[in-house]
Each structure stands twice: as C-alpha cells, then as structure tokens.
Amino acid sequence: MAAGLLSVSGRRLADWLINDGLPDPVSTRVEQRRGRPGRVGRIVVGLDLAASATGAGYRGVAGQWLTRPPDIYWDTGLPISRPTVLAATLPHHREVIAACSLPSFANLAVGDLIKGASLLPLLAESDGPFGPAMSLAVAYTLTAGHPPDRVAATDAFLILAARGEDTAEIGRDLATLSAYDLVRLARAAAPLGDAHRAGASRAVWALLVAALPGLIPHRPRGLPDIFELATEVAVAVDARDEIPGLSGLIGGSRSTAEGRRLHAALTR
C-alpha cells in the first residue's frame, strides 16, 4: 500500500516504512563556551545526520536546533512546556527530542526560577537508543533547582533502570558537569536516594561508582552528601569496588570523613 504513494513526500514515507523507519542519528557531545577561553558554559549534544539520506525527516521535525555552534548560544532549544506533544513527535527516537531539548534541561540546573521537567519521564518511556543526550538530560535534571523536577528525574531514572539502560553514563556526565561547575552536586543526593529506596539500588550504585573517580579530584560542594549516599547504597548491594582516589583522602573535613566511611564499607 505504501508503494502506491506517488508524491515526493509520499515516496519518502514509503521508503521509511519499507526500510524500518528513520535510522538512529549519531549523537555527539558539544561543549558550548562562554566569553573567555577555557570557560565551558554548558554541555549539549549535536546530531550527525549527514550520512543519512533520510536526514531531512529529522530536520522537518526539529529544524535549526539540530546544529549548534561551539560558542555559547543561550537559546532554550525546543520548548518543554508541551511534553506530551514533543514525546509523541518521534516516539522511537527519543535521543533526537532529548538532544533538541537539552538546553532547556540544562537551564533547570541553573537556579530555582526555571522549571518543567515532565518531558523527561516521557522520553524515558519512549524507544530508541539511550545516548549522550538522554544521559545528560537526566544528569542536569537530577540537579534541578525546582524539587518537582528532581522528582521527575527520579521517575525517569527508575524507568531507565527497569529497562536495563546504562546508568553509569549518567554518573560520568554528572561528574563532568560538576567539574565544570555547571550543576549543584548536592541536589542530586536526594533524588538518587529516593531511587535507591525505591529498589533501583544497583542502578544507583552503577551511577555512583562511575561518578566518584571524576568527583574526588575536584572535591565539589555536595561531595560529602554523595559519599554518604554511596556508603548506604554500597552496603545495600554488598559492593566491593575499588574507587580511584578514595583511599588517599586526607584532612579533617566532612568530605574526607564520609569518604573514609565509604572506603571502610567497600573493604569490610
């Protein structure tokens, strides 16, 4: 039946249907920089569609948001105020919607005034690869300024964990964002603790054990809370991982004390 479509758009649609729909785009991280050299303003994701003959299909949906310059560009991406519409646009290609909406998710972590993360759980329930855009969207939203948005991040995390997605990648992104001082790390402790208590302890541990090697050298504010949560989760999952830099912590700060407690839990 699809082969009977004769217009240019109809033949393109027929080709997508015959060849199992639109191909998955290639996602790549992009660091947008502020005025002075070396200062990262935020981390977003670009989509490489050049190799796909059907790339125009994505451009028809997402338009100019698919390409981002290396310099800081303070747009908000796609508006996330109509989450059900966005999630339904490409239900089998959530990475596209996540990438296009990523500046909006990043803005959630800036302060307490911007809110609206209900798109994130909808994307977690959608299909398609779990790529860098989805991982960064969760990492940003775990540190959102508005508490209900952090609840949305917990919901999305639980959905992704139940579907077997790689939550370690979220941990590495959280460490990178913290190292660049783009998020407030302490905010992530509560939603991750909620996910742990909801039964996703192993997924939370995978995130934490991936994040800590990047967090320990920088000692960001909020690290003691993450250490405290990690100790609780490590005991629950009977973890024995060796975390680089953990055994060498020195000093009399709370961060050092909580880090030593975690080290003791892992080597008990």
For 101, phi then psi, to 5°, come to -95, 0
Domain annotation covers residue 1: no
Give the global pTM: 0.85
The DSSP code sequence of 99-122 is HHHHHHHHHHTT-SS----THHHH
pLDDT digits (tens, 9 = 90+) for 120-129: 999 999 998 8
CB distance 177 to 217 below 8 Å: no
SS3 64: helix
Residues 6 or more apart whose Cβ sits within 8 Å of residue 128? 24, 90, 92, 93, 94, 95, 96
- Residue 47 β-bridge partners: 27
Residues 46, 126 within the same domain: yes
pLDDT of 223 > 70? The answer is yes
pLDDT of 163 > 80? The answer is yes
Q: Using 50, 70 and 90 to split pLDDT, how confident is the model at 159?
A: very high
Domain that holds residue 227: 185-268
Domain annotation covers residue 159: yes
Residues 6 or more apart whose Cβ sits within 8 Å of residue 81? 116
The pLDDT value given to residue 61: 36
Mean pLDDT of the 69-95 span: 68
Residues 36, 68 within the same domain: yes
pLDDT averaged over the chain? 83
Residues 42, 90 within the same domain: yes
Residues 226, 266 within the same domain: yes
* Total of domains in the chain: 2
Mean pLDDT of the 97-124 span: 86
Residues 155, 29 within the same domain: yes
Catalogue the E-assigned strands of the chain: 26-33, 40-48
Domain boundary among 103, 130, 165: 165
Count each helix (H run) and each strand (E run) in the chain, helices first.
Answer: 12, 2
For 45, phi then psi, to 5°, come to -130, 130
Domain annotation covers residue 10: no
Give how far the C-alpha of residue 202 lies from the chain's centroid of Cα atoms, to the nearest Å.
18
221 Rama class: left (phi>0) / alpha (psi -120 to 50) / beta: beta
The pLDDT value given to residue 63: 32
The pLDDT value given to residue 54: 46
Q: Which residue has the higher pLDDT, 228 or 13?
A: 228
Of 21, 62, 89, nearest in space to 12 by CA: 21
